[in-house]
A and B are shown apart, each in its own frame.
Chain A
């Protein structure tokens, strides 16, 4: 992950209604909530400003109807934003011609859909080769390429099956494979695992991480499942009624929620799994490590049982092995049992 920007959205708006563009312009591109309501417009995305860095997994979260899908579809120009600017890898998407857009989609973007969106009349290999077929690549070449990807997603031997003959998880593997066929840089996934049952979902998340470790794509991933977000995300963006209310790592969101909404949203998260020792430790004057010492970068959950067995506070070491703080049993217990506590990071 670098800080290089792959996609950058500036003040992106998407309003539904009679004359959204005119309305936006007449309000100086900053209509208030009240004005939007009075004008009878539906604000799907409001004033969204966000960057997606090369090689990162950005997860967009929010309740149903909060505008996640709309925002992602603006990034891929499946939906025309009402206002704002979107720069995709150096191209101004809002001013790109039809032909340019087709070129970008053929080579730089891939997308995975919640309900798989496979073409029912094509078998697995034809579905996967579809983006290549559209580009005009000949049959032999595209099917060879598709076979490689079939192996990558673990569907060997199923290449002549039709979608209706596959389970949900397998169908989504085809969906993943299809979106990878053209070797795009950017990968959009709109709730790709929501339609799967929990066990399969876990398995697919692992699969997804495995692929990403090999491929290093730039990823925008939508979900409304916080566990999934934590497992996958480098950064999480939280949306509420069309607005992006906070962007940050999972830990930042929990330890430092920007609004009550974010706090509410993250309340039921098992903190122990997420918070690092560093976010909880107190400064210490001790020079010598105690009986037990833990690393600052460890997650609380992984050291909890050891800490709770100790009568005393535990010393915390940084990556270099130097003492940087101490961790009290009470704090760990409070996190584990989710009682309210003012954590050190706050």
Chain B
């Protein structure tokens, strides 16, 4: 590898890189010569023009399917709707229980007193990791009861009761599908692409479909949450079961396990870490979705956050936001601790030595019930002790926004006029055939016909669906956000990767920010930029910078140490080391980061539609309010396909780069 590469060898590779752009550029350049159908996809007619907007009436097809499902009687006995109704009734049973346990009470017996919940969280925290976790758990619930002047406690309990039902359901469904897929190759072949689509569909598509079949309210929210949250569990189950060492499996067989014994005595326990990680992800997904499910009437923190945000009661929204964030961090840290928790040796001795935590739990339950029977204050903190600082917050926010009004306003207007508008116009001027040609050529370059045809089919679906114009606006927002994310995240990653302490700090921040439900990010955006494209992009940027930063750090730090040492001994300066050694080696990882950032951005763009943009997300909100399932699903698929197209290309590119650099897989 010694010696500089001759310039002649580099030239064709440059050209090679640019080659896929040529058809795109030509088509764009000669746009005036193109027929009009090649510029904007025609709104023409398969099966009765009029209501449909697209070249192919996907929306009508889906709606017809839904109509059919709603009315068709299976075996002439019951309709699909009957099935969904009975599922909903089934959900009611555990939901009634958790609601009663957490805030409604069982008739004569009240709900769990707040002191009991705080006490239990402290014991769990101690058991799982130690004092700091205990403090976090206890502190969070103390905050919830202290700041409960406007009922945050009850709202939180509503949210938590929905989570308490959704998490086990999603985990079990995910586990079962994962097991089936890990055992049968044929099932895996169906499940894997389904998961890809499910995980890139925006939240709202789920909500619309669920609203159609299950109505609105708490149980519909739970169902949407379960469907949204199970895929990571399935993925991690498949991964975990696959990664069990063949020796452990063989040990099970040699012991004479039957298939069933093998599964529950050997395989599931051996995959414990992966499964627990799955549970952790399910919990976080559930929280994110429960908050958003307020759009279909899920009561709780999300619902109130939404209305306060709509009424621009930012101080109150902020208080609720803090509650959501605290709950998110608590749930995340607790379930992470559960992942790392190893089984512990039981000490010999009397009961309280052998099972100290069980004894503590029993003590707390008995003690808090006793306390609750003595004073009402142990059941729920009396109103006079609760506080709300929302009026101060309002004042503060007002102060900040008025003092920042001019500079922020100027920034916003500058960005709008000189950056966003021109970019948007550029995107809108691209003929769709040109975009398709570009995607096809890049696909062909990376993966020949198979990849090219796949991604072109994705793009064609969007073009034919009738939402091309909106999709381009979504694309523009994602593109702008992506550029800003990269401009922030990559330097930040480079800075952080230099020193261990910085790395730890920044990765910790990434972890924490990533646990917040995406919805939360709208809060500062609205505070600073009111309602505009700029605030949407601000929210996207804050949320989506996380993965690119994380992957940059990861890539830079994971350069094999021999290579670094070799470079050092050949006299690299620090700067040369970064640009000539570390960055090229980290490039594939950074591509993956970019891919993740794009996914995050797409998710956020759809949520940002709530604060008013005119892309696909607005359409999806309209679909939500008109209960238009076809539209909701098709738009969702458009978003999902934008994500999948980028995913296919970037992951393939990254893999090829890795292979070129000789990284094993």
Contacts and interface: CB of A to CB of B under 8 A. Distances in A.
Interface of A: 73, 76, 78, 102-103, 105-107, 109-111, 113-123, 130-131, 133-135, 160-162, 164-165, 178-179, 182, 188
A113 B255 contact: no
Contacts of B248: 117, 119
The 3 closest A-B pairs by CB, nearest first: A106-B256, A117-B247, A131-B255
A106 B254 CA distance: 7
Interface string B231-259: 00000000000000101101101111110
15 contacts: A78-B254, A106-B255, A109-B254, A111-B251, A119-B266, A120-B270, A120-B272, A121-B269, A121-B272, A122-B269, A130-B265, A134-B257, A134-B261, A165-B345, A188-B254
A72 B254 CA distance: 12
Given A115-B247, A117-B247, A130 B255 contact: yes
B345 A161 contact: yes
B74 to A, nearest CB: 37
Nearest to A190: B247
Nearest to B269: A121
B346 interface: yes
B251 A113 contact: yes
Interface in B267-289: 269-270, 272
Nearest to B347: A160
Given A117-B250, A119-B248, A119-B269, A160 B346 contact: yes
Contacts of A120: 269-270, 272
Contact of A162 (B258, B272, B345): B345
A28 B261 CA distance: 40
B343 interface: yes
Contacts of B257: 102, 134
A134 B265 contact: yes
B243 to A, nearest CB: 13
Contacts of A105: 253-256
Contact of A135 (B253, B256, B266): B256
Contacts of B342: 162, 164
A134 B250 contact: no
Contact of A111 (B250, B269, B272, B346): B250
Contacts of B270: 119-121
Nearest to A121: B269
B247 A134 contact: no
A117 B247 CA distance: 6
A116 to B, nearest CB: 8
Given A73-B250, A130-B255, 5 more contacts: A78-B250, A102-B257, A118-B251, A131-B255, A162-B345
A268 to B, nearest CB: 30
Contact of A121 (B247, B254, B343): B343
Interface residues of B, number: 21
B247 A160 contact: no
A123 B258 CA distance: 22
A43 to B, nearest CB: 20
Given A111-B251, A119-B266, A121-B272, A134 B345 contact: no
A131 B256 contact: yes
A123 B345 contact: yes
Nearest to A164: B342
Contact of A160 (B251, B258, B345): B345
B245 A134 contact: no
Contacts, number: 75
B251 to A, nearest CB: 4
A308 B206 CA distance: 90
Contacts of A110: 254
A104 to B, nearest CB: 8
Contact of B250 (A113, A133, A135, A164): A113
Contacts of B245: 115, 117
Nearest to A99: B258
A118 B343 CA distance: 14
B333 to A, nearest CB: 23
B251 A103 contact: no
A103 B250 contact: no
A197 to B, nearest CB: 20
Contacts of B346: 160
A188 B254 CA distance: 10
A75 to B, nearest CB: 12
B471 to A, nearest CB: 44
A147 B254 CA distance: 21
A103 B256 contact: yes
A256 B255 CA distance: 40
Contacts of A182: 255-256
B254 A111 contact: yes
Nearest to A103: B256
A188 B265 CA distance: 22
A113 B247 contact: yes
Interface string B330-357: 0000000000001101100000000000
A143 to B, nearest CB: 14
Interface in B30-84: none
Contacts of B269: 119-122
A131 B256 CA distance: 7
Max chain B CB contacts within 10 Å: which of A110, A114, A120?
Answer: A120
B253 to A, nearest CB: 6
Contacts of A121: 269-270, 272, 343
Nearest to A184: B254
Max chain A CB contacts within 10 Å: which of B251, B254, B345?
Answer: B254
Contacts of A103: 256
Interface string B567-578: 000000000000
B48 to A, nearest CB: 51
A39 to B, nearest CB: 24
B253 A78 contact: yes
Contacts of A165: 345
A130 B264 CA distance: 13
Contacts of B253: 78, 105
A176 to B, nearest CB: 12
Contacts of B251: 111, 113, 117-119, 178
A127 to B, nearest CB: 9
A168 to B, nearest CB: 14
Nearest to A79: B250
B256 A134 contact: yes
B343 A162 contact: yes
Contacts of B258: 102, 134
Contacts of B345: 123, 160-162, 165
Contacts of B250: 73, 78, 111, 113, 117
A165 B345 CA distance: 10
Nearest to A110: B254
B272 to A, nearest CB: 6
A306 B270 CA distance: 58
A76 B254 contact: yes
Max chain B CB contacts within 10 Å: which of A111, A118, A179?
Answer: A111
A113 to B, nearest CB: 4
Nearest to A108: B256
B536 to A, nearest CB: 47
A162 B343 CA distance: 8
A248 B3 CA distance: 56
Nearest to A181: B255
A298 to B, nearest CB: 41
A102 B255 CA distance: 8
B342 to A, nearest CB: 7
Contacts of A134: 255-258, 261, 265
Contacts of A131: 255-256
Nearest to A107: B256
Contacts of A133: 265
Contacts of A161: 345
Contacts of A164: 342
Nearest to B265: A134
B652 to A, nearest CB: 27
Contacts of A107: 256
Nearest to B250: A78
Nearest to B249: A117
Contacts of B255: 105-106, 130-131, 134, 178, 182
